[in-house]
Structure 1
Amino acid sequence: MRSTMKKLALASAVSGAMLAPLAFADGHKFEISAGAAFQKFDSDRKLDDETGYGVGLGYVINPRWTVEAWWTEIDSELENNGGDVDTESARLDFLYHLENTWGAWQPFLIGGLGDVEFDVDNGSTTDETRWNLGVGVKRELSEHFDFRTDLRWFDSMDENEQDLGLLLALTYKLGKTAAPAAPEPAPQRLDSDGDGVYDDEDKCPGTAANLAVDADGCPMKLMEDVSVGLKLYFDNDSAVVKEAYYSEIKRVADFMETYSNTKVEIQGHTDSRGSAAYNKNLSQRRADAVAKVLVEKFGVEAGRVSAKGYGEDMPIASNEAIEGRAANRRVIAEISAQVETMKQR
């Protein structure tokens, strides 16, 4: 056991010497700890629970991880005859800092492996290898000092025995974490077109002030539905388009000129007087008459205009009344298109 402890102590010292330049070069630091250690022994050991002391050397790998070498000594007594038992242990531990949700107290997990020697005053000794797991908290007292405590469970790899240990210690932090470099003044960034996106990130410079933009500074496009309708009426048994409706037909022609991908179906209808066959023909003549005005007078391409008569089959009012029959003698059309617009601010 003493040979093992010497090797462990030597390895810790050599490691510390090798890591010392790094500790001060990159802001990491060594930690030297000392404090009181309480051991509650497994009942099979027949030892009194006692308090001793311990010292440790730690190296801060990063803000989460620290590796530590610890040596502790606890003087106990045998329960049956009162003989003294000197207990010395050496171990290597890894400490992991958890997310700090406790304010000034920093919780951590700890675990490691080491040797323990039980030296009885009658000259007999026993060595065991134990691994340990535990939890603890620490609190910063000053720039260089921390208070810490941890509770851990020791499991012997040589005997079927488990012990509990409690440590209360002060830690002295060697070195000082490097202060963060003062931030350089940020260069002034320009937004020439005032759209909220800086020039060095703006992929669409010069955007109009009234347009909403995306993260790249480009106008946000919207698709909108637009439409125009046509409805005109005919005298009884007539397919003559009254000039009063030319302005309505021109509105359809202008819409189709604006949206060149549109087509229109002119739909003709009649009231119910007369035979169904006659009314079908009359409705077709009415639809053809409106289509002719649209093409010949207002210049819409003939291939974009179709005409279809539906006869008396689709009334919108009762044919029993004069007003209803007048409403049914009609030609209608509906044209729609999708247009791309820019979203306004």
Structure 2
Amino acid sequence: MKLKSTLGLAIGSLLAASSFGVFAQGQGAVEGEVFAKRYFTDSYRKMDNGNLYGGSVGYFLTDDVSLNLSYGEYKRLNHDSFEAHKSRKANGSLSSLDAVYHFGEPGVGLRPFISAGMGHQSLNQVDRGGRDRTTFANIGAGAKYYFTENLFAKASVEGVHGFDNHQSEWMAGVGVGVNFGGKPAAAPYVEPVEVVEEVVYEEVITEEVRVELDVKFDFDKADVKQDSYSDIENLAEFMKQFPQTATTVEGYTDSTGNPAYNQKLSERRADAVRNVLVNQYGVAADRINAVGYGESNPVADNATSEGRAINRRVEASVEAQIEEVIVVE
């Protein structure tokens, strides 16, 4: 294979692969590389140090280990001939298969590596114009810097030892390449969070509410006094809040006077309070019943003026039930 063909294929691979930005590093990835190396020969071989140009392709068996196949051709590798100390222009090729272990995690950044493998070197115009073929073992180290998930630059140093000529030589080189086709980077592990559903128990409580009215009257009067209006209004608002309620307004007198008269007076007092609830505060008339009980059911002693003042009254009460939902933990 000619050098131009080798470089052409390698460069073409780089350009084609660089368009696949969706590819990532890791197991299953393929790397293509073009390189230039300086080859330092053993003095025993009477050859000048030369340059090696070529390319390689590698396949990642795991996220860290790849298997690389490379091929390169020598340039300016002159050989001192045994014939009258003439210098011959030596050329040839170098191919190798290496296992490479990468340190660090796949991704953008620096990844040092070490390598080891086997290779084959073929040189012509060596040893009286003949061809020199050598199988060798090689070991190396270096680093790659990934500018993106796909594009990297490389620097390396390699030592080689020939099994046929028993010579040890070395190379130093640089290269650029692309990495594509690997698996996407694994998402970071997130500890699963156990969701405990909180059970909420609700309890409905029925509560009874009550409003009472106690309106006092002057002696022998059925007129509602001004200071009683606020109490009557409170009862009216309660009944509006609970429209299902109804009430009975009960009128009373003290024991002074004729019982028949007192009965009529107690009825007028009950009607007076009912009229205030209906006409002034807007409670429906059919929700209020007015009843007079005369001088019966005293709540104080009619023998005293203070007791009689307490007995001259109108009473009413309204009860309602409300439901409250509470959370039981």
Q: With structure 2 as the length reference, what TM-score do the two structures score?
A: 0.46
Bigger radius of gyration among the two:
2
Higher-RCO chain (CA-CA 8 Å, sequence separation at least 6) = 2
Q: With structure 1 as the length reference, what TM-score do the two structures score?
A: 0.44
Q: Which has the higher strand share?
A: 2
